[in-house]
Amino acid sequence: MAENFRLAATADLHCKTSSSGLFKDMFARLAEDVDALALCGDLVDYGLPAEAEVLLQELSPVLKKSIPILAVFGNHEFESGKADQVHKILTSGGIAVLDGGACEINGIGFAGIKGFSGGFGERVLEPWGETVIKRFVREAVDEALKLESALARLRTSQRIALLHYAPIAQTISGEPPEVYAFLGCSRLEEPLDRYAVTAAIHGHAHRGSAEGHTKSGVPVFNVAMGVMEHASADHRPYRILELPVPPTTS
């Protein structure tokens, strides 16, 4: 077994029906070099089943090599009210879509959620006032609870959290301050620290920063394609994390 497990991660492909051929070369290069692929939301643009079909074709170099693909949905998957159909197409095609779910690959645990908005730190939105505000905050709380539940089910020494929305403000730095509250929520940070996650990976903040860390020092990576293209030395639109492969027990 290889000494390191190589995980590629990207987000915000926004695959359209007109995107045929746009990503296939990237995924063909990636498939030669990694053990798994994580897609952190906004996989398609308008949440249409036809877009999901195109995405599967673009991912075919990875799928043909039986490289595991894990994904979480972003906000765009819900735009047309057909998220269930998009989910069915992707999972039928061989992609594991996590929504509060957990899985293990080569002894490394993965937990995934979409996440939600709400702001950060002392400015996080509280459930006060109108009913609609309370429902909004409830959504953020529920997503954090889903993440906590998924992480609790993992018994691996290494845990990777996949999200779409940001759990910390550092990795959205570079975006207009007026939209910070809509790009993530620090309620998502608490489960990462509680379960000593090895790394958290998200997207959504196209103009954000590539790296940050939680209060307890958990590394957080923003893998939105636009961020990666500017942050990586070779302008590749994805990040590769090298993780030590846990020893097998006999």
Task: Give the tens place of pLDDT for each residue, 116-159.
Answer: 999 999 999 999 999 999 999 999 999 999 999 999 999 999 99
Q: What CATH code would you report for 4-244? A: 3.60.21.10
Confidence (pLDDT) at 250 = 40
Amino acid 2: pLDDT: 57
pLDDT, mean of residues 57-66:
97
Q: Give 174-205 pLDDT, tens digit per residue.
A: 999 999 999 999 999 999 999 999 999 999 99
pTM for the predicted model, two decimal places: 0.95
Q: What is the pLDDT at residue 249? A: 45
One-character DSSP codes across the chain: --SEEEEEEEB---B-TT-TTTSHHHHHHHHTT-SEEEEES--BSS--HHHHHHHHHHTHHHHHTT--EEEE--SGGGTTS-HHHHHHHHHHTT-EE-SSEEEEETTEEEEE------B-GGG---S-SSHHHHHHHHHHHHHHHHHHHHHHH--SS-EEEE-SSBSSSGGGBTB-GGGGGGTBBGGGHHHHHHTT-SEEEE---TTS-SEEE-TT--EEEE-BHHHHHHHSTT--SSEEEEEEPPPPP-
What does the pLDDT look like over 213-250, one tens digit per residue?
999 999 999 999 999 998 877 788 999 999 998 876 44
Q: What is the mean pLDDT of residues 76-85?
A: 98
